[in-house]
Structure 1
Amino acid sequence: MMSKSRATLLAAGITACVAGVAIAQTTPANSTSPLNLPSEVTVFGTRMPDVVKATAIVNGEVITQTDINQRLAFLLIASQRPPQGEELERLRQQVFSNLIDETLQIQAAKTAEIEITDAEIDRTVARVAGNVKQTPEQMAEYLKARGSSIRTVRRQIEGEIAWRRLQSAKIESGSSVGEDEVKAVLDRLEASKGTQEYRVGEIFLPATSATMQQAQANAAQLVQQIRQGGSFVAYARQYSEASTAAVGGDLGWVRPEQLPEPIANAMRQMNPGQISSPIPVPGGVSIIAVQDVRKILTADPRNAVLTLKQVSINFPAGTSRQTAEPIVARFAQAARNIGGCGGAEKMAAEFKAEVVEADDVKLRELPPVLQQMMIGMQIGQATQPIGSLDEGVRVLVLCGRDEADPSMPTYDQVFAQMNEERVNLRARRYLRDLRRDAVIDFR
């Protein structure tokens, strides 16, 4: 890489050469004559990225095409089958809309004197990188190699923190739930004992009567991407305009009657793991994902809380299946004869494996295949081996099980859920007002 001083000297030399040629020039003068440009131009180096072209100016703050491209690339990293053509263009427009909303949220937080420090963002970036077993520097290189950047991640983190704190300051403080309302919910719960409730995620796209058709088309594209392997949580964070976007769209455990009727009707027809088609609702379009189902106030073995030990073996890169299969077979035999939770370390020593202990693991939150294995297991037994040659093969040893008590939720728990629902509605209205009052110059 050329040093700054050498680059300065080289520039000075080029300037002197241009000046010498200009004196001898005999062609008619024009506005470019002082530059003495050659008739045949050779371009050196790579083209400067398009970082200054404004796509929109939101209350004086520029959103460039580069901002859109990098955020779109960041979103598509999680997509196993990237969209093409018109579908990609629709996603690009949605990203553009999200960046405008994100800018409005950050600006509103600054107006409210809510400070978000670089140190806070650094900590979140480090945590995100740690989740994928990378340093922030490694993650930055990973993103850059895929057309994104660490800058777009930092901007999204800033937007999420700003919006969360803005809601706390401007919305939550004005939301109130009455004691009679909470008691009415508790009474209904008691009356509905044994009926089903659902763990649900939601992606909400706002729309007016004029934009409803486009919103439904955008939602249909999102559904297609998720059904082809995209992450619902990632898409909810990026596209949803409900206040739950920051937590991946998670609504928690809800009963159908707590939700708008169109969503409730769709939810009753769904099984865990399914994604709904776009659902028109007042004010927009929703997509819901049913993650789990349980019966209200009824004992369920999947509510158990477990103590586990995980024994895992890793294979060197490039290990063939033919080489690995005999080792996995011996590993499976050792797991069947592990001799209780205390045998995990002996097994690990035999296979040069790693042991990880985990307490307070909710059976319901394990992958479905593990749930099915572990429901009927006795203390001291191990699962069959699971995993892959790339990510390692492991078994889980059941060291303890505490059955959960299917008791009534407390007053405070019901109050918190009702308050969240009201905050969600007020947040949508607040963002709508920010859009309405913004000065946005599209370029």
Structure 2
Amino acid sequence: MKQNRRWAARSGRMLGMVALAAVAAGAVAQTVQEAPGADTGLNIPADSQIFGKFDPNVRKPTAIVNDTVITGTDVDQRVALVLAANNGGQVSQADRDRLKLQVLRQLIDETLEIQEAKSAEITITPDEITQSYNRVARNFNRTPQQMSDYLRQNGSSDRSLKRQIEGELAWQRYLRRKVEPFVNIGDQEVKGILDRLEAAKGTEEYNLREIFLAANDANAAQVAERAKGIIGEIQKAQQPFDFFARQYSEASTRSVGGDLGWVRAAVLPAELASAAQQMQVGQVAGPIPIPGGFSILYLTDKRQVLTADPRDARLSLKQLTVHFPAGTTQAQATQRAAAFAEGLKKIQGCGTVAKIASGVGAEVVDNDTVRIRDLPPQLADIMLQLQIGQATPPFGSAESGVRALVLCGRDDPQSGQLPSSDQIQNQLQQQRVNLRAQQKLRDLRRDAVVEYR
């Protein structure tokens, strides 16, 4: 089953999760969040008159949260951190302004979490922060000093990352001490879920992400055009889908990059179910009209419940890579790739890879733990058809070089099995902890004294 980041539902953070988030086996399909736009329960006249001038620039990106100062520099460096974590993608000024406001909200939440943890006598030591920072650096294949240099080059700082690490560690420890002990899951509840999973065996489910845009009769055409513009930006592939979900989605799932988790068509609104059933993995669909607005869907994966899937096979691979010198033109790269392809035709099993690689000037890297479903969709489809000892066609670009994968072995997945009772219980417990964490954070926001400067 899919592994979900244990604390992912807790915030919209994009870099610290690389090293710090624990994982729990996902055994229970998540339900779809209701679209916003329902009755608010507030007595607000439809023809309300606004008294006074509204100026959105009054709230500048500097704030004091219960006497803790968040400076403009804090915001700018965290924005740079987010962009660096997303491969340094370029964003428009309008998107950057929206990102700054989102980051400010995240910094306020982070400050409240640290403050609440300290009130519960939970303190994260400098050594713990340093150890976690070093792990993040290793995940980026850098030493701590190289990581600090990298952050400064991108307009951020190690201080900004360490502050984020402190917030995540403090909140996780607070939840483990103050929330988890009071969450109980009954045996009958676990049994009920196992029974439902058994009944659903063989049915298809989808791993989806969504951007929801609210609309009404008056602005439907305008919102639909806006959705098309967002899809156009997504298709440029300069930023991942979850970046756009955090920026534009008006659903409660925006904080987790629009992630709906694994869902079956039966629990989706009819319009989304129809779209999901027609989509291929890696495809974006939309704008899809649904009650209350429009949705943009991204299908990251699909599978059959409790059924062995060939895409779960683990492969033993050798990767050959030919790098191009700086200044190589596209024509030169194409010619070199063609020669590389000719060399690949001479491969007769993985035992001949080293000799062929030497002849075409390629470096070789081994990996014995690659799942087919973790490869890009086009490569995954090719790998499903390869026999042991065969190579893929060359792929790559003039900038990154060309590569090819040689299949040296395949461990096919076992028949699908029900998750254990412990897995179900752990997943349910984590969902409940996440829910209580969100409720606690809402309470902290409600009671906070926040002054914008």
User: Percent sequence identity over matched residues?
Assistant: 49
CA distance in 2 between counterparts of 1:279 and 1:305 reads 39
1:83 aligns to 2:92 (yes or no): yes
CA distance in 2 between counterparts of 1:249 and 1:277 reads 15
1:322 aligns to 2:331 (yes or no): yes
Q: Which residue of structure 1 lines up, in the alignment, with residue 196 of structure 2?
A: 188
**Cα shift at 1:239:** 10
Distance 1:389 1:224, change over 3 A: closer
CA distance in 1 between counterparts of 2:186 and 2:296 reads 30
Q: Which residue of structure 2 lines up, in the alignment, with residue 4 of structure 1?
A: none
CA distance in 1 between counterparts of 2:208 and 2:434 reads 15
1:395 aligns to 2:404 (yes or no): yes
Q: Which residue of structure 1 lines up, in the alignment, with residue 72 of structure 2?
A: 65
CA contact (8 A) 1:338 1:381 kept: yes
CA contact (8 A) 2:272 2:288 kept: no
Q: Which residue of structure 1 lines up, in the alignment, with residue 29 of structure 2?
A: none
**Cα shift at 1:303:** 2.0
1:406 aligns to 2:437 (yes or no): no
Q: Unmatched 5+ residue regions in structure 2? A: 1-59, 215-222
Give 1:32-431 correspondences, 5 Å limit. Answer: 55-77=62-84, 78=86, 80-85=89-94, 87-201=95-209, 226=234, 228-229=236-237, 230-233=239-242, 253-255=262-264, 266=272, 269-270=275-276, 271=279, 272-273=281-282, 274=284, 289-410=298-419, 411-431=421-441
Deviates more, 1:413-422 or 1:90-99: 413-422
Distance 1:146 1:95, change over 3 A: same
**Cα shift at 1:103:** 0.8
Deviates more, 1:112-121 or 1:386-395: 112-121
TM-score normalised by length of structure 1: 0.72
Distance 1:203 1:60, change over 3 A: farther
Distance 1:417 1:268, change over 3 A: farther
SS at 1:345 equivalent:
helix
CA distance in 1 between counterparts of 2:111 and 2:233 reads 26
Instruction: Give per-residue Cα distances to partners, 1:45-84, cap 9 Å, x unaligned.
Output: xxxxxxxx99211121100111112222333443644132
SS at 1:381 equivalent:
coil
CA contact (8 A) 1:56 1:63 kept: yes
User: Could you say what the CA RMSD is over the residues aligned between the two structures, in angstroms?
Assistant: 3.8
1:438 aligns to 2:448 (yes or no): yes
SS at 1:407 equivalent:
coil
Distance 1:236 1:161, change over 3 A: farther
Distance 1:257 1:420, change over 3 A: farther
Deviates more, 1:295-304 or 1:380-389: 295-304
Instruction: Give per-residue Cα distances to partners, 1:154-208, cap 9 Å, x unaligned.
Output: 2222222223332322333222222111211221122222211122457899x9x
Structure with bigger RCO (C-alpha 8 Å, 6+ apart): 2
CA contact (8 A) 1:341 1:398 kept: yes
SS at 2:201 equivalent:
coil
SS at 1:197 equivalent:
strand
Asked which structure has the greater CA Rg, the reply is 1
Tell me which amino acid in the other structure corresponds to 1:69: D
Instruction: Give per-residue Cα distances to partners, 1:366-408, cap 9 Å, x unaligned.
Output: 1111101111110111111112232232111111112212323
CA contact (8 A) 2:391 2:407 kept: yes
SS at 2:207 equivalent:
strand
Instruction: Give per-residue Cα distances to partners, 1:257-279, cap 9 Å, x unaligned.
Output: 67xx66x8636523333377799
Deviates more, 1:160-169 or 1:121-130: 121-130
CA distance in 2 between counterparts of 1:203 and 1:59 reads 33
CA distance in 1 between counterparts of 2:114 and 2:130 reads 17
Distance 1:129 1:316, change over 3 A: farther
Distance 1:295 1:182, change over 3 A: same
CA distance in 2 between counterparts of 1:162 and 1:287 reads 35
Instruction: Give per-residue Cα distances to partners, 1:304-349, cap 9 Å, x unaligned.
Output: 1211111212222222333333332222122222111112222222
**Cα shift at 1:280:** 10
SS at 1:269 equivalent:
helix
Q: Unmatched 5+ residue regions in structure 1? A: 1-52, 208-215
**Cα shift at 1:110:** 2.3
| Paired residues, number | 374
CA distance in 2 between counterparts of 1:346 and 1:66 reads 54
CA contact (8 A) 2:275 2:285 kept: no
Distance 1:190 1:361, change over 3 A: same
Distance 1:177 1:111, change over 3 A: same
Q: Which residue of structure 1 lines up, in the alignment, with residue 18 of structure 2?
A: none
CA distance in 2 between counterparts of 1:227 and 1:250 reads 18
CA distance in 1 between counterparts of 2:200 and 2:129 reads 44
